[in-house]
Amino acid sequence: MAQFQPRVFSGVQPTGYLHLGNYLGAITKFVALQETHDCIYCVVDLHAITVPQKPAELKASIREVTAAFLAAGIDAKKHIVFNQSQVAEHAELAWVLNCVARLGWLNRMTQFKEKAGRDRENVSIGLYDYPILMAADILVYRATHVPVGEDQKQHLELARDIAQKFNLDFGEEISVRGHGEGFFPLPEPLIQGPATRVMSLRDGTKKMSKSDPSDYSRINLSDDADTIAQKIRKAKTDPEPLPSEIEGLAKRPEAENLVGIFAALERSSKAEVLQAYGGVNFSTFKSALIDLTVAKLTPIGKAMAELTQDQAYIDAILGDGAARARVLAQNTMHAVKDILGFVR
């Protein structure tokens, strides 16, 4: 992939509250990658409408996710922050990729099966097609690296398959036009660290999620110190003290989850946390986890609240980001149209 300029792309849906899973699985990675890569971070509002949304709430959520990006330390001047619907090329490339991807590939997507559940015949076609739009998000910038949580891994593999098939199907045109071996890079998922899958605080076998009906299952970025403390105090645990070695976490999903959260928040590893807290009971460990979580999250929550007050500022960031993203996306679409044989 030497021919491709390294570029990071990732997206977050503006639906419901942002939670600790989004923060540790994705947003902290976004922040770190700014040091080494050109980054594009997108509020994926076209993905949000794959399930019904109330317009006023959607608008507020788009601004809230943007505020979270900025509050967490994303530099929207050096990098690009925008909302997906302002750059029409995402939807345009998605159509092209719809014609490249195979039905059988989409039928394997486990997230669709989970989300559609028994109501399969009655969900939107957008929900089914969602991973294709996601591939388009990444490929329209010819992004090489995609930081995400573990739950997005299968979608990233699909994006790679689509990129590869496009490169093969149009190989001759691609090489005649001087794009070398392939037009699209095969985007690499970046799924690393101790919190790639943060679990529910009520059930260590379920993912922490925006759609869980119990607010006690997750810590929201907007939670204040008291709420964070209460949620961690109530988090499900088992009766044993913490083990000293990683192996001791096997079959203890709640313990493993809290240790993983602690490690990610202090940027260490589960092994290091267990070195410090092995043998300790949960009430002591939870107190330390509360202090750490409050110290890390409440400044972000406060900054988010302040930023969301200034709608004009947020909207200007999104507009400026979209203008810069559009230039890159249009370049890709021009080349794609030439490769496909469209007249333009």
Q: Which residues are catalytic?
A: 115, 207, 210
What DSSP element (H or E) covers 262? helix 253-265
CB of 44 to ligand TYM, least distance (A): 4
Of 196 and 293, which has the nearer Cβ to ligand TYM? 196
Q: Which of 39, 94, 146, 232 binds ligand TYM (CB under 6 A)?
A: 146
CB of 23 to ligand TYM, least distance (A): 8
- Pick the piece of the chain touching ligand TYM (CB under 6 A) from 7-15, 96-104, 165-173, 262-270: 7-15
Spatial CB neighbours of 201, under 8 Å, sequence gap ≥ 6: 208, 216, 217, 218, 219, 231, 232, 234, 235, 236, 257
CA 117 to chain centre: 22
**Three-state SS for 161?**
helix
CA dist 162 and 186 (Å) reads 9
Spatial CB neighbours of 109, under 8 Å, sequence gap ≥ 6: 131, 154, 155, 158
CB of 66 to ligand TYM, least distance (A): 13
How many residues form the binding site for ligand TYM (CB under 6 A)?
Answer: 24
- Pick the piece of the chain touching ligand TYM (CB under 6 A) from 5-13, 32-40, 275-283, 305-313: 5-13
CA dist 317 and 300 (Å) reads 18
CA dist 277 and 259 (Å) reads 9
Q: Which of 25, 185, 204, 260 binds ligand TYM (CB under 6 A)?
A: 25
Q: Which of 7, 8, 10, 318 binds ligand TYM (CB under 6 A)?
A: 10
Q: Which of 8, 22, 72, 217 binds ligand TYM (CB under 6 A)?
A: 22
- Pick the piece of the chain touching ligand TYM (CB under 6 A) from 19-27, 167-175, 244-252, 326-334: 19-27
CB of 216 to ligand TYM, least distance (A): 15
Q: Which of 7, 8, 21, 79 binds ligand TYM (CB under 6 A)?
A: 21
Residue 34: name the closest of 139, 182, 156, 145 by CA: 145
Q: Where in 26-65 is the site for ligand TYM (CB under 6 A)?
A: 26, 44, 47
Asked if residues 209 and 21 have their Cβ atoms less than 8 Å apart, the reply is yes
Spatial CB neighbours of 292, under 8 Å, sequence gap ≥ 6: 262, 265, 266
* Crossing angle between the packed helical segments 311-340 and 282-309, to the nearest 10 degrees: 90
- Pick the piece of the chain touching ligand TYM (CB under 6 A) from 97-105, 132-140, 284-292, 323-331: 132-140
* Angstrom distances, CA of residue 288 to CA of 127, 151, 198, 229: 41, 28, 18, 10
Q: Which of 28, 144, 152, 332 binds ligand TYM (CB under 6 A)?
A: 152
Cα torsion 314, 94, 102, 145: sign: negative
CB of 25 to ligand TYM, least distance (A): 2
Asked if residues 113 and 128 have their Cβ atoms less than 8 Å apart, the reply is no
Q: Which of 115, 165, 197, 202 binds ligand TYM (CB under 6 A)?
A: 197
* Angstrom distances, CA of residue 1 to CA of 4, 238, 340: 6, 47, 22
Of 146 and 322, which has the nearer Cβ to ligand TYM? 146
Backbone angles phi, psi at 236, to 5 degrees: -65, 140
Edge-to-edge strand ranges of the sheet holding 80-83: 80-83, 38-43, 7-12, 145-147, 188-190
Q: Where in 160-189 is the site for ligand TYM (CB under 6 A)?
A: none
Q: Which of 28, 68, 144, 149 binds ligand TYM (CB under 6 A)?
A: 149
- Pick the piece of the chain touching ligand TYM (CB under 6 A) from 21-29, 177-185, 259-267, 277-285: 21-29
Of 173 and 203, which has the nearer Cβ to ligand TYM? 203
Where do contacts with ligand TYM occur on this chain (CB under 6 A)? 9-13, 21-22, 25-26, 44, 47, 134, 137-138, 146, 148-149, 151-152, 196-198, 207-208
